[in-house]
Amino acid sequence: MNDTTSVTDPQLAKIIQAKPARGRFKVLRWLVALALLAGLAAGGWAYFHSRAETQAAPQYQTEPLSQGNLRVTVSATGKLEPINQVDVGSELSGTIETVLVDDNDRVKKGQVLARLDVTKLQNQIAKSRAALASAEAKVLQAVATVKEARANLGRLRQVAKLSGGKVPAPTELEAAEATAERASADEVAARATVEEARATLRTNETDLAKASMRSPIDGVVLARKVEPGQTVAASLQAPVLFTLAENLAQMELQVDVDEADVGQVHEGQSATFTVDAYPNRSYPARIQQVRFGAEKVNNVVTYKTILNVDNGDLSLRPGMTATAEIVATERENVLLVPNAALRFTPPPPPDAQSSSGGGLVASLLPRPPRGLAPRRQSGNARGARSAVRQIWVLRDGQPVAMSVTIGSSDGRMTEVTGEGLALGLPVITASSGTAR
């Protein structure tokens, strides 16, 4: 018994001592693994935290509040036209005998431009004169007849007086009186026939005069649309043979102003315009009339506006297409901010971003693009049409909101007024480096 116990005790002791050693080794390995994981987690947290802080610190782009002149213009296109343009035609039908002017010729009022063949007209005048002479002769006959009838009536009355009413018979006396009255009526009719013949003669003479087409104005021939030998048929509408412009030194520009801009356009406003023929030259003009009648072309409502143009050098020609810039508003020495400053809204602070949740896991997950995220309605976004807007200025590195009253805008700069505004104030227009 003792021998067996002495032999087995050392072996039992080795086994008992070996098992605790192996357990301690496993525990040590787990501790090392946990320490490594904790270190990695701490390093990742520190990395993402520093990255978030770096991205959350925005960098602001500013422009100083400036002072200057602001000009608001309205653009419109149209065509140049003469102030007075006249179409010369023919009231008569016939054959063109001769054409005396050509394109670009200067003409005077009353100058003959073209003539018709007047052979038929001359024959009609001769016929009318003959008819007038015949009518005048019939007047002489009627006058003689009246004289004869009245003399006969006078003799019968004298005989009746001398005979005491016995002769002539009453019926004979009444017949003589009727004859005298008919003779007087025939004289009146003959004289009326003379007036009719004279009117016909004047009409034929007028037609003869109209056979020569004359210029109604002093001007320039813009278009000649007839040639010698051409037949002119004047029926319901007189054919246009010539187009004349009264004075090309003074012209008008007819532009179409959009309905959205017509409220800014008024008579007397100045403007400038350019034409394709002289792209580097600007012409002055002034608004003469803004018409009330609307014109609708391709579902676009416009209003015809007339501008007076000085064309003393005759460089401009009728029909040229012009692009006009009408000066709607001019402001001098006003405070101006870029339009981007009126649209700017600062990003939310970093605390608001971090408190929105997620921590490390949220930073690892993908986010939707910024353009798809809902935009916060700021004061100036809600009141786009309001005169009171909001701008942000940079003070001590932080954006500060200021309320301003906006005025005119040229599309790039806007006039602003308000308390606290000063020349050179840094106005925020954009920001960069924000968290994404």
Considering only CA atoms, which of 86, 89, 79 is closest in space to residue 245? 86
- In Å, what is the CA distance from 82 to each residue of 246, 249, 250, 252? 7, 9, 7, 6
Q: Give, as one character, the DSSP assignment of residue 84.
A: S
What pLDDT sits at residue 17? 54
CA dihedral sign of residues 332, 255, 324, 307: negative
CATH architecture of 87-115+214-246: Beta Barrel (2.40)
What residues are paired with 405 via a beta bridge? 388, 417
For residue 238, give every residue at least 6 positions away whose Cβ sits within 8 Å of its Cβ, in sequence order, or none: 89, 90, 91
Quote the pLDDT of residue 58.
Answer: 73
Q: What are phi and psi of 270, to 5 degrees?
A: -85, 160
Is residue 411 within 8 A of residue 339, CB to CB? The reply is yes
The answer to whether domain 59-67+336-348+369-432 has CATH 2.40.420 is yes
What's the rounded mean pLDDT across residues 120-142? 95
The pLDDT of residue 381 is 34
Q: How many residues does the chain have?
A: 436
Q: Which residue has the higher pLDDT, 18 or 310?
A: 310
User: Taking Cα atoms as reference points, which of 336, 358, 328, 345 lies closest to residue 392?
Assistant: 345
Q: Averaging pLDDT over each range in 5-14, 338-347, 355-364, which range is the top one?
A: 338-347
**Residue 166 DSSP one-character state:** -
Instruction: List, for residues 205-227, the tens digit of each pLDDT value.
Output: 999 999 999 999 999 999 999 99
Per residue in 13-53, pLDDT (tens digit) is: 555 555 555 556 666 777 777 777 777 777 777 666 666 55
Strand order in the sheet with 240-245: 85-89, 240-245, 219-224, 106-107
C-beta neighbour count of 251 within 10 angstroms:
23
Does an H or E element contain 435, and which?
none
pLDDT at 285: 96
44: its two tokens: 């990742």
Contact 72, 328 (CB under 8 A): yes
Rg (CA), the chain: 53
SS3 127: helix
Contacts of 108 (CB under 8 A, 6+ apart): 215, 218
- Does pLDDT of 436 surpass 50? no
**pLDDT over 90 for what percent of the chain?**
55
Domain 74-83+248-331, architecture per CATH: Beta Barrel (2.40)
Residue from 268, 337, 254, 322 nearest 68 by CA: 337
Residue 14, pLDDT score: 55
The more confident residue out of 236 and 328 is 328
Structure tokens at 246: 């009264």
CB-CB contact of 273 with 285 (8 Å): yes
Give the model's pLDDT for residue 434.
46
Task: Output the pLDDT for position 111.
Answer: 95
Copy the structure tokens of residue 194: 């003379």
How does the average pLDDT of the chain come out, rounded?
Answer: 83
| pLDDT value at 351 more than 60 | no
Mean pLDDT in residue range 251-271:
94
Give 345's contacts (C-beta < 8 A, 6+ positions apart).
376, 378, 380, 381, 392
pLDDT at 355 over 60: no
Peptide bond into 168 cis (omega under 30): yes
User: Band of the pLDDT at 422, cuts 50, 70, 90?
Assistant: confident
Name the E strands within 191-311.
Answer: 212-214, 219-224, 231-232, 240-245, 250-258, 270-275, 278-297, 300-310
User: Quick one: pLDDT at residue 273?
Assistant: 96
Element (H, E) at 433: none
Confidence bin at 167 (pLDDT 50/70/90): confident
Sign of CA dihedral 310, 283, 269, 289: positive
Q: Are 239 and 89 in contact (CB under 8 A)?
A: yes
Residue with tokens 């025939």: 186
Rounded Cα distance between 94 and 229, Å, is 10
For residues 416 and 391, is the Cβ–Cβ distance under 8 A?
A: yes
So where are the chain's domains? Answer: 1-56, 59-67+336-348+369-432, 74-83+248-331, 87-115+214-246, 118-210
